[in-house]
Amino acid sequence: MKPVIPVICLTLLTGCSSLSYLRGQEPVLDGSSSKSPAELAQCVHDQWTHHGFTTELVTAGAGRSVLVPRTFGGYRVVLDATPTSQGSDFSLYERLPHVTSVAFENGVAFCK
């Protein structure tokens, strides 16, 4: 019975950081950019990587996403960029916005 408890705890912790959970939260930052989703996502990816974060760059239909994985599964931060006629719209989601590094928001602001 004891091995079940850590598995349940791990499942509960990663469930609160799944992509669907993060995207279901209020975005920390919404905006638009004259850059295409690919250009914006690549710039943000480079900024976050420069600050020492492990990132994943993902194509999502016509848009792009930059994901910051957690050590034990799930994601800490997600940036979604979707195409518009004038560039892209973006949304930044953070698992714990009050304790997440400001480098994520600064990276997006630098790139937009």
Domains (ranges, CATH) in the chain?
Answer: 4-111 (3.30.160)
Render pLDDT for 27-57 as a digit per residue (tens, 0 to 9).
Answer: 999 999 999 999 999 999 999 999 999 999 9
CA distance 39 to 44: 9
For each of the chain's 112 residues, which pLDDT tens digit applies?
A: 555 445 444 444 444 568 999 999 999 999 999 999 999 999 999 999 999 999 999 998 899 999 999 988 899 999 999 999 999 999 999 998 887 889 999 999 999 9
pTM of the model: 0.83
Q: Where are the alpha helices (DSSP H) in 1-112?
A: 4-15, 19-23, 37-50, 103-111
Residue 26 DSSP class: P
Select from 93, 91, 78 the least CA-distant residue to 25: 93
* Per-residue model confidence (pLDDT) at position 72: 85
- Paired sense of beta strands 87-94 and 75-84, if any: antiparallel
